Amino acid sequence: MAFVTHYVRRGFSSSAVRSVVIKNVTIIGGGLMGAGIAQVAASTGHSVTLVDTSDDILKKSVKGIEGSVKRVVKKKFADKPEAGEELIQKVLQNVSTSTDAGLAVRGSDLVVEAIVENLKIKQDLFATLDKLAPAHTIFASNTSSLSVSDIASSTSRLDRFGGLHFFNPVPMMKLVEVIGTSATSQETFDSLMSFSKVLGKTPVSCKVRFTIIIVAVSCHASKEDIDIAMKLGAGYPMGPFELSDYVGLDTIKFIMDGWSAMDPDNPLFAQSELLNKRRILQVQVIMCCKFSVERCHCETDLMLRK
């Protein structure tokens, strides 16, 4: 049975209240974050459409989701293989893919965007989808660095627009920051909070300029020791340096570029001279990360532009 989230939306009359069910969810962006959100939504019975620009990308996304669910099954259903296989099939059956975002959102109750951290690209996307999605559809951005209000300004549904900031890796991390703008209706905000809880997450209310919670750590220690300290002391599944390898320096650069553009005088958001002066188009970088007592070698493609 599908888990659903109910919410009510204010009509033109204060007495006019309409109930809408969040059952069909469209995720725009099939990368690590988008695929992770799709996995947890599908695992809780939602019908999910994952959208990206090519079938090849989407095939990799679905393969990644399947692999992630299998790892969960291996731990939780070691003595119940049939139940584990049932969960795998349930998740995969709840996920469909599309390269046509406009078509995908026409039947959606919630659209979550998880694409590149570029304000204009996000605004253009939502401006297009705003004309095609049903009036009741809630829009949400997963941005970790841009103003949700600025993104929402490209649409006509300011009261049905908010932020849902998940953390990597999504299936493991319990925290979700729910961002409401000055125009987000209380019904929409409550719906996003409830939806997050249905996914098994712990949502927190966040009304700040930048959506991500930033913790600065300054100490004299190796990157390995810092990662160990954050995992054992703060309960992180990955340390900050391991996470940087996992997310990719290209994504981190996009985030820092956005912060720097919005607050150019803040030294915390200063752009990296090393990354800016190097023009790396397709470079294979071999990164060595320590996970507990094991050593993992990861190949990462970096797409950094000047």
- pLDDT values of the chain reduced to their tens digit, one per residue, 306 residues: 332 333 333 333 333 334 457 899 999 999 999 999 999 999 999 999 999 999 999 999 999 999 999 999 998 888 888 888 999 999 999 999 999 999 999 999 999 999 999 999 999 999 999 999 999 999 999 998 899 999 999 999 999 999 999 988 999 888 888 899 999 999 999 999 999 999 999 887 876 545 444 333 444 567 787 777 677 767 788 888 898 888 887 888 888 888 888 888 988 888 777 777 654 433 434 344 443 334 343 333 333 333
28 contact partners, CB below 8 Å, separation of at least 6: 34, 51, 52, 101, 111, 112, 113, 114, 115, 125, 129
What is the pLDDT at residue 43? 96
Q: What pLDDT is attached to residue 151?
A: 97
Question: Which of 206, 239, 271 is the last residue before a domain boundary?
Answer: 206
Q: Are residues 230 and 100 in the same domain?
A: no
Based on the domain organization, do 227 and 176 belong to the same domain?
A: no
The CATH number of residue 287's host domain is 1.10.1040.10
Q: What is the pLDDT of residue 227?
A: 79
Query: Has residue 147 been placed in a domain?
Result: yes
Same domain (yes/no): 174, 249: no
Amino acid 220: pLDDT: 52
Is residue 75 a known part of a binding site? yes
pLDDT, position 6:
34
* Per-residue pLDDT, 1: 32
pLDDT score recorded for residue 18: 45
Count of domains for the chain: 2
Task: Choose one of 155, 173, 206: the last residue of a domain.
Answer: 206
**SS3 sequence of the chain:** CCCCEEEEEECCCCCCEEEEEECEEEEECCCHHHHHHHHHHHHCCCEEEEECCCHHHHHHHHHHHHHHHHHHHHHHCCCCHHHHHHHHHHHHHCEEEECCHHHHHHHCCEEEECCCCCHHHHHHHHHHHHCCCCCCCEEEECCCCCCHHHHHCCCCCHHHEEEEEECCCCCCCCEEEEEECCCCCHHHHHHHHHHHHHCCCEEEEECCCCCCCCCCCCCCCCHHHHHHHHHHHHCCCCCHHHHHHHHCHHHHHHHHHHHHHHCCCCHHHCCCHHHHHCCCCCEEEEEEEEECCEEEEEEEEECCCC
Q: Which of 175, 206, 237 is the last residue of a domain?
A: 206
According to the model, what pLDDT value does residue 16 have? 31
**Does residue 134 share a domain with residue 17?**
yes
Pair (269, 167) in one structural domain: no
Identify the pLDDT of residue 145.
85
**Are residues 201 and 229 both part of a single domain?**
no
User: Do 146 and 249 belong to one domain?
Assistant: no
Q: Is 34 a member of any domain?
A: yes
Determine whether the annotation assigns residue 144 to a binding site.
yes
User: Is residue 19 domain-shared with residue 154, that is, in the same domain?
Assistant: yes
Note whether 243 and 194 are same-domain residues: no
Say which amino acid occupies 274. Answer: L
Residue-level pLDDT at 207 = 66
Query: What CATH number has the domain bearing residue 77?
Result: 3.40.50.720
Q: Are residues 199 and 242 in the same domain?
A: no
Identify whether residues 228 and 201 lie together within a single domain: no
Among the listed residues 36, 34, 31, the one whose alpha carbon sits nearest the alpha carbon of residue 169:
36
pLDDT of residue 5: 34
Domain that holds residue 296: 223-302
